[in-house]
Structure 1
Amino acid sequence: MTAITPPTGEPFLPPPPGEFLGHPRPLWMLFGAEFWERFAYYGMRALLAAYVAATFFSHLPPGEARATASLTYGAYTALIYATGLFGGFVADRYLGYRPSIMLGGAFMAVGLFLLMFPELHWFLVGLATIVVGNGLFKPNISTMVGKLYAPGDARRDSGFTIFYMGINAGGALAPLICGTIIGALYGFRWGFFCAGIGMIFGLMMFHWLRGWLGHIGEAPVPAQNLARVVKVAVGCVLCIPLAYVLLSKADLVGYILLLMFAVLTCYFIGASIKSGDRVQLHRYIAMLLLFLAKILFWGMFEQAGSSLNFFAKDHVDAPFNFTLFQSFNPVFIVLLGPVFAWLWPRLETSDLNPSVPRKFAIALIFVALGFTTLVLSIDNLADANQRIPWLMLALVYALNTMGELCLSPIGLSMVSKLAAPKETGMAMGAWFLCSAMGNWVAGKTASVAVAADAGISSYVETYTFIAYAGFGMGAAFLVFAPFINRLMHGVR
Structure 2
Amino acid sequence: MSLIPFNNFSGQPAGLTTLFFTELWERFSYYGMRAILVLYLISDTSSKNPGLGWSNEDAIQLYGWYTALVYLACVPGGILADKYLSLKNSVILGGGLLCLGHLSLAVNHIHFFFFGLFSIICGVGLLKPSISSLVGNLYRKNDLRRDQGFTIFYIGINFGAFFASIIVGYVGEVYGWHFGFSLAGLGMVLGQIIFISGRKNFNNNLKTEKIVKKKNKLNKIEIDRIKLIALASLILIIFWASFEQAGGLMNIFAYEKTDRLIDFLNFEVPASWFQSINPLLIILLGFFVSALWLSFQKKRIFKLIDF
- TM-score, structure 1 as length reference: 0.54
Equivalent residues in 2 for 1:165-184 (5 A)? 165-180=155-170, 182-184=171-173
| Alignment of 1:211 onto 2:207 | no
Deviation string 1:110-167 (CA, Å, 9 cap, x unpaired) is 1112113334343112101111121111110000101112222232222111100111
Alpha-carbon deviation of 1:209? 1.3
User: Residue 339 of structure 1: which of 285, 288, 297 is its match?
Assistant: 288
Match of 1:44 in 2: 33
Aligned ranges for residues 70-89 of structure 1 at < 5 Å? 70-89=60-79
CA distance in 2, matches of 1:89, 1:19: 33
Q: CA deviation at 1:91?
A: 1.0
Instruction: Tell me if structure 2 keeps the 8 A contact 1:183–1:191.
Output: yes
User: Cα deviations across residues 342-373 of structure 1 (Å, max 9, x unaligned)?
Assistant: 333445577776x9xxxxxxxxxxxxxxxxxx
Question: Is residue 178–residue 195 contact of structure 1 (8 Å, CA) maintained in 2?
Answer: yes
Q: Which runs of 5+ in 1 are unaligned?
A: 3-13, 59-64, 222-270, 356-416, 418-489
Runs of 4 or more above 6 Å deviation: 349-352
Aligned position for 1:250: none
1:53 equivalent in structure 2: 42
User: Gaps spanning 5+ residues in structure 2: where?
Assistant: 44-50, 263-268
CA distance in 2, matches of 1:198, 1:218: 28
Tell me by how many angstroms 1:18 deviates: 4.9
1:158 aligned to which of 130, 144, 148? 148
Secondary structure of residue in 2 paired with 1:153: coil
CA distance in 2, matches of 1:116, 1:214: 34
Q: 2:246 aligns with which of 292, 298, 304?
A: 304
The one-letter code sitting in structure 2 at the alignment partner of 1:137 is L
Distance in 2 of aligned mates of 1:315 and 1:186: 22
- Secondary structure at 1:87 match in 2: helix
Letter aligned with residue 56 of structure 1: L
Higher helix proportion: 1
In structure 1, what is the equivalent of residue 101 of structure 2?
111
Within a 5 Å distance, the mapping from 1:225-240 to structure 2 comes to: none
The amino acid across from 1:99 in the alignment is N
Aligned-pair identity (%): 39
**Residue 85 of structure 1: how far off its partner (Å):** 0.9
* Equivalent residues of 2:105, 2:181 under 8 A apart: yes
d(CA) in 2 for partners of 1:199, 1:18: 24
Give CA-to-partner distance per residue, 1:385-423, whole Å, 9 cap, x none: xxxxxxxxxxxxxxxxxxxxxxxxxxxxxxxx9xxxxxx
Structure 1 CA distance, aligned partners of 2:214 and 2:258? 53
2:176 to 175, 178, 187: 187
* TM superposition shift of 1:75: 1.0
Q: Deviations over 1:149-202 (max 9, x none)?
A: 22222322221111001111111111222121x213320111111111111101
Task: Encode CA deviations 1:294-327: one digit per residue, 9 max, x unaligned.
Answer: 1121122222111111122233333311111122
Q: Distance in 1 between matches of 2:213 and 2:228?
A: 13
Q: Verify the 8 A CA contact 1:15 1:213 in the aligned structure 2.
A: no
Distance 1:294 1:188 in 2: 31
The equivalent of 1:284 in structure 2 is: 226
d(CA) in 1 for partners of 2:158 and 2:213?
A: 35
Instruction: Give the match for residue 327 of structure 1.
Output: 276
Q: Measure, in 1, the Cα distance between the counterparts of 2:214 and 2:59.
A: 43
In 2, are the aligned partners of 1:273 and 1:281 still within 8 Å (CA)?
A: no
Paired amino acid for 2:163: L
Letter in 1 for 2:237: I
Q: After superposition, where does 1:42-441 map in structure 2 within 5 Å?
A: 42-54=31-43, 55-58=51-54, 65-180=55-170, 182-215=171-204, 217-218=205-206, 274-278=215-219, 279-318=221-260, 319=262, 320-347=269-296
Partner residue of 2:47?
A: none
Deviation at 1:15, TM superposition (A): 4.0
Residues of 2 paired with 1:290 and 1:155: CA distance?
24
RMSD: 2.7
What's the secondary structure of 2:100's corresponding residue?
Answer: helix
Corresponding position of 2:265: none
Distance 1:159 1:90 in 2: 25
Counterpart amino acid of residue 215 in structure 2: K
1:29 aligns to what? 18
Aligned residues: 290
Between the aligned partners of 1:82 and 1:27, the Cα distance in structure 2 is 26
- Alpha-carbon offset, residue 212 of structure 1: 2.7
The answer (yes or no) to whether the contact 2:88–2:202 under 8 Å persists in 1 is no
Alpha-carbon distance change, 20 to 351 in structure 1, aligned in 2, over 3 angstroms = closer
Q: Is the 8 A contact 2:77 2:125 kept in 1?
A: yes
TM-score by length of 2: 0.85
Q: Write the distance in 1 (CA, Å) between the matches of 2:148 and 2:61.
A: 35
Distance 1:337 1:80, change over 3 A: same
